[in-house]
Amino acid sequence: MEGKKNGGLKEMWRKFLVSIKRRPQMIPLAVLTVAFVFYSMKMMYISDTTAKIQGTGMGLAGFATMLFSMLSFMCFFNAFPYRKKPNVPMLVLMFLMFGIVIFADLYYIRAIFAAISRPENPIVVTTATAYIAYAEWYLEIHIGILCVAILLILLLPVYSKQLRRIKTSIDVGDNGNMGMIDISPEG
């Protein structure tokens, strides 16, 4: 029974590697998914910060980040069609959307700094308004995750060649010692 468990785990790992070898673009897709889910889960802090500071364009920046994050997924799927060459115009559009998302995040961070450091009536970050500091920190993490995804997309041709070198075939015993098979109808 123990050998069967290890064989099952080995087989699952082999199937996973085969699927990654066939579609290496799933690696940056997973990182993009993490970035989107991370941003979505932290929207509570970002929306509370927008309501507290009420800076110019903060709501629009949050909306743009969410909208272009979703649209970049559609561009990603169209940029890497199954078993075809990458669609270059969609790749360009996807990178443009990543740029818009990063710009919107940076704009939002600058709006937080402007509200905290303004000379008249600055926003003071206390324990009651700690969500402002969290929002800034989460936006910086979001930018970092997006940069990792962009780097993975740019390096896709490099590591896809390396992935293809991994041996995932199954060795079947006595494959070369088979004799001629008689398929005649008399039997």
Considering the domain boundaries, does residue 136 fall inside one?
Answer: yes
Considering the domain boundaries, does residue 5 fall inside one?
Answer: no
Considering the domain boundaries, does residue 114 fall inside one?
Answer: yes
The per-residue DSSP string of 118-150 comes to: -SSSPPP--STTHHHHHHHHHHHHHHHHHHHHH
Considering the domain boundaries, does residue 115 fall inside one?
Answer: yes
Considering the domain boundaries, does residue 107 fall inside one?
Answer: yes
92-129 pLDDT, tens digit each: 999 999 999 999 999 999 999 999 988 888 888 888 98
Which domain range does residue 70 map to?
Answer: 41-160
Question: Are residues 52 and 129 in contact, defined by beta-carbon separation less than 8 angstroms?
Answer: yes
Give the per-residue pLDDT at 130. Answer: 92
Report helix, strand or coil for 167: coil
Total domains present in the chain: 1
Tokens of 120: 């008249």
Considering the domain boundaries, does residue 83 fall inside one?
Answer: yes
154-175 pLDDT, tens digit each: 999 898 888 777 776 776 655 5
66-101 pLDDT, tens digit each: 999 999 999 999 998 877 888 999 999 999 999 999
Q: From residue 172, how far is each of 133, 165, 175, 176 by CA, in Å? A: 59, 20, 6, 9
